[in-house]
Structure 1
Amino acid sequence: MPARHIAPATGRLGILTPGLGAVASTFIAGVLAARKGLMPPIGSLSQMAHIRLGTRDEQRNPLIREFVPLASLDDLVFGGWDPITTTALEAARTAGVLRGEDLAPLASELEAIVPMDAVFDRRWVSRLEGVRVKPLSSKREQAQALIDDIARFKAEQACDRLVMVWCGSTEAYQEPSAVHASVAAFAQGLEDDDPNISPSQIYAWAALQSGVPFANGAPNLTLDLPCMIELAQTCGVPIAGKDFKTGQTWMKTLLAPGIKARMLGLRGWYSTNILGNRDGEVLDAPENFKSKEVSKLGVLDAILQPSVYPDLYGQIDHVVRINYYPPRGDNKEGWDNIDIFGWLGYPMQIKVDFLCRDSILAAPIVLDLALFLDLAARAGSGGVQEWLSFYLKAPQAAGRTPAEHDLFIQQTKLKNTLREWMGELPVTHSEAG
């Protein structure tokens, strides 16, 4: 099959992150460390994973980055916005994710990354107080200021291309409103200072208007809106959302397909988390937790299909809790109690205690989303990039059917997209490798 025309990844790629906290600073530090040969980019499919090519008689297994024309780590430039942080180094030290000895060889480069003043509204993140905020009350002025920031960063850093990945805090829960119905309605809402327009939506608007691909790493209502999908399609800009799939939800997308594959029943799934970073502090507010809860709760139904298997999955009690516990810092702990049943209805249980590191798991996702969105832009693939669902808790669907949540099917879709774009035949799920 013919390969898709993909423009070469020449020049510098700027990665802009609204939010320069634990996740963003850990991501940047990891890329800098990989460039210096201090540590390989573990957890990144784009850098570490192989892809199976060819027929059964002639198998090839190159690294993805050797097979696909991705931007080089050496060509990445970093920037962003933050309402609190003064430099990426300060963000990394404050977050406490990385040890001092790991930051030391990167300190000068991290200190040189100074975030721009943020568009911030405490009504959406009540537990934080922004001190480095643009002194603009008009949403139209805020959007224009971000567009100007994007253009200035690109010029000053001599970037050929840009991508943007939301690494900011979870915003308060909201439902779509009339202002989100179309591009025209949203543009008018900016003029009218519509209270239903959140900061993350202003960032997404500014990015898409600037031709910059955008990924949403939080459960905010940001890209999954008619106005943003319309704008992305009209401008031919790739988008992907939402909510990085890191700890407990990642476990669910691993375990739930296995339970379904064995046709075992599921009666209940209780999940609770403790974490003490800025994300945990923000999620301690009920209105912000609801955004995260909705994102997490949709996974099981999508994988298990209770309408198809009512006897097995028709009555699941799915409970999610998050507790802010400062001593834990970024080292999140997720407990799961899973009540399953088998032959003759006899009950069994699965217990999971995942002592993970939130930002360590999220950082390589930021890298992959940035590199793959840049690839999509160079390949002329605008709009929703459903093939990137692998990285997201509540992925957007590109068509009428719901997005896939089974991690292994998502991985196959991701690799098959790369195969097809490079002129290779897709493979089945069992052959994906």
Structure 2
Amino acid sequence: MTTATTARTGLWLIGARGSVATTTIAGRAALAAGLTPPTGMVTALPPFAGIGLPELDHVVVGGHDIVDVPLAKRAEQLVAGGVLPHGLPAAVAAELAAADEEIRQPGDDPAADIADFARRHGLHRTVVVNVASTETDPAISTGYATAAIEAGCSYVNFTPATGMRAPGLAERALAAGLPHAGRDGKTGQTLLRAALAPMFAQRALTVRSWSGTNLLGGGDGAALADPAAAAAKNAGKERVLADNLGAVPEGTVHIDNVPALGDWKTAWDHVAFEGFLGARMVLQTIWEGCDSALAAPLVLDLTRLVARAHAAGLAGPVPGLGFFFKDPDAGPAALGDQYQELLGLARTLRAAP
């Protein structure tokens, strides 16, 4: 008997040969084979056990990308950059090759590619996840969101691109009974802001200014060198402050492309705040991390949760998934409140058929 847990689930990645996608594909294979612990995966925590999430060894991967570098080579590049552990590409070579065979160049009918993928593999449902580099042409991401709807698939926008926010698309997804989630995965600086900003608000401390700088390389660094792309990214960083503090405090966010950093990034925040009797104080934080390693487990989490939501009959924006995004579809802004809402989703899914 096929259950939501054992049903074959498709993961269709937009930007399937990028760093995040390659880390996701290699990581899924390693987890399914028991080669690594599920560090960084929220759905591996106890509250999410027994709620019918698809098992990772029942997830089949494909996708679209404009580049043709084989996944095995991309994985070796990530090993050289310190993102993937030595020996992993060889250990999951068969899984990388299988995913490679399912990656298509974008064409005139992406929905047909997705539908063909689902048919050939006998998939019960497929989740389309956008992990492409930030782009300034909304038609690209909205085209893939449209393709997901036309192929009968749920959709996750892990980027700041327009995606399902284009006029009419969310309504189409709801009418088709399809769940979706977005946008812009919360992995570093904004994750920290979502945790810290509520502290100031709840302790009645006045934030006078909040400035930040991001240094990053890789594909995202190059893409975000474009001012329009950077503006879309920064909007989510500002939203978390506005939602938690009531307004965006004085200060700016800079994103600098440093190619030498590769897939690693450094984020610095300077918070000037005021306490009792006007005492002026400062909090400074430095976040150094690997964006691909931070993002990949969340992509797997979202795939499992959205696929389960689809199986449970949920449609439209999935409540509780704001925990994963800078610019969520709905829900609270504080990280702790978002986590409580996510736990509520887990309870809903546990009770669903």
In the superposition, the TM-score normalised over structure 2's length comes to: 0.93
Out of 15, 18, 27, the position equivalent to 2:11 is 15
CA deviation profile, 1:74-127 (whole Å, cap 9, x unmatched): 1011111111133322232344322432322122321332253343xxxxxxxx
Partners of 1:384 and 1:301 in 2: CA distance: 22
Partners of 1:390 and 1:334 in 2: CA distance: 20
User: Paired residue for 2:335?
Assistant: 407
Shift of 1:369: 0.7
Q: Say which SS state the counterpart of residue 110 (structure 1) adopts.
A: helix
Q: Say which SS state the counterpart of residue 340 (structure 1) adopts.
A: strand
Partners of 1:319 and 1:405 in 2: CA distance: 20
User: Paired residue for 1:137?
Assistant: none
Structure 1 unmatched runs, 5+: 1-6, 52-63, 120-133, 135-141, 174-196, 307-314, 398-402, 425-433
Q: Does 1:235 align with 2:235?
A: no
| Correspondence 1:56-95 to 2 at 5 A | 64-65=48-49, 67-95=50-78
User: Paired residue for 1:43?
Assistant: 40
User: Paired residue for 2:194?
Assistant: 253
Q: Say which SS state the counterpart of residue 163 (structure 2) adopts.
A: coil
Partners of 1:305 and 1:104 in 2: CA distance: 50
User: Paired residue for 1:186?
Assistant: none
Partners of 2:292 and 2:342 in 1: CA distance: 23
Q: Does 1:105 align with 2:91?
A: yes
Q: Say which SS state the counterpart of residue 251 (structure 2) adopts.
A: strand
Partners of 1:270 and 1:85 in 2: CA distance: 39
Q: Say which SS state the counterpart of residue 254 (structure 2) adopts.
A: strand
CA deviation profile, 1:259-304 (whole Å, cap 9, x unmatched): 1121111011111111111111111111211111112211101011
User: Paired residue for 1:151?
Assistant: 115
Q: Say which SS state the counterpart of residue 332 (structure 1) adopts.
A: strand
Out of 140, 149, 160, the position equivalent to 2:124 is 160
| Correspondence 1:188-337 to 2 at 5 A | 198-306=139-247, 316-337=249-270
* Structure 1 residue ranges, 4+ long, deviating more than 3 angstroms after superposition: 7-10, 115-119
Shift of 1:423: 4.0
Partners of 2:52 and 2:346 in 1: CA distance: 10
Q: Say which SS state the counterpart of residue 196 (structure 2) adopts.
A: helix
In the superposition, the TM-score normalised over structure 1's length comes to: 0.76
User: Paired residue for 1:116?
Assistant: 103
Partners of 2:146 and 2:253 in 1: CA distance: 31
Identity of aligned residues (%): 34
Higher strand share: 2
Q: Which has the larger radius of gyration?
A: 1
CA deviation profile, 1:44-84 (whole Å, cap 9, x unmatched): 1112x122xxxxxxxxxxxx13x201101110111111111
Partners of 1:89 and 1:404 in 2: CA distance: 40
Q: Say which SS state the counterpart of residue 99 (structure 2) adopts.
A: coil
Partners of 1:79 and 1:325 in 2: CA distance: 30
User: Paired residue for 2:288?
Assistant: 355
User: Paired residue for 1:338?
Assistant: 271
